[in-house]
């Protein structure tokens, strides 16, 4: 009877998902602007047109002489060229620089942490971000977490799921359990049965 119970418990502890690959980031990652980001626009020789503006929830920005310009999904250089084009109706050969100063990113690239994290939340993705970075930002796991049964749902790979060993990483300091995150990953931390 005891061996049957141990067999059932061992079966519950194993994951049906493959382990997450250690490296996941793409070689070339360009940050794209998302709702809630703050951008600093500098128009050379036109300080009255230079300012810091938020990206609205609809993904657009408004500046003097330029209303409702889409910013969502563009990198800073592309947005600067779009602003130059819009300003060229009013200014001869405008030179614009765009600097993202507050990062949230588009919804599709945010990292989501669900379940038994100390502070479940959504985090902006950063290049080379690891599972350990995510755990530090969410304050670790709760005492009820089954950390070694946690999974990463990788939306960039068609919602493929990978198992991760959070307990080994966070509680035991096993850095071999650390893996890179990708834009749009969802970390799911289940509750322990015991």
* Residue pLDDT, tens place only, 145-191: 999 999 999 999 999 999 999 999 999 999 999 999 999 999 999 99
The whole-number pLDDT of residue 43 equals: 97
Prediction pTM value: 0.82
Residue 27 reports pLDDT greater than 90: no
Q: Count of CB atoms within 10 A of residue 116's CB?
A: 21
**What's the pLDDT tens digit per position in 37-46?**
999 999 999 9
Q: How confident is the model at residue 7 (pLDDT cuts 50, 70, 90)?
A: very low
């Amino acid at each position: 009877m005891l061996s049957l119970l141990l067999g059932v418990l061992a079966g519950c502890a194993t994951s049906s998902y493959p382990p997450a690959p250690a490296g996941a980031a793409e070689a070339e990652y360009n940050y794209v602007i998302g709702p809630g980001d703050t951008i600093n626009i500098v128009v050379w020789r036109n300080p009255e047109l230079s300012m810091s503006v938020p990206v609205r929830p609809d993904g657009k920005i408004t500046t003097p002489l330029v209303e409702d310009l889409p910013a969502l999904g563009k990198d800073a250089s592309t947005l600067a060229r779009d602003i130059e084009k819009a300003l060229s109706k009013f200014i001869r050969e405008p030179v614009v620089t765009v600097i993202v100063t507050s990062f949230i990113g588009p919804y599709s690239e945010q990292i989501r942490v669900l379940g038994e994290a100390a502070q479940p939340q959504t985090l902006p993705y950063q290049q080379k971000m690891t599972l350990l970075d995510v755990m530090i930002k969410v304050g670790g796991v709760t005492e009820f977490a089954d950390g070694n049964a946690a999974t990463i749902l990788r939306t960039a790979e068609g919602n493929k799921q990978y198992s991760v060993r959070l307990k080994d990483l966070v509680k035991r300091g096993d850095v071999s359990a650390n893996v890179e995150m990708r834009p749009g990953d969802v970390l799911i931390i289940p509750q322990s049965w015991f």
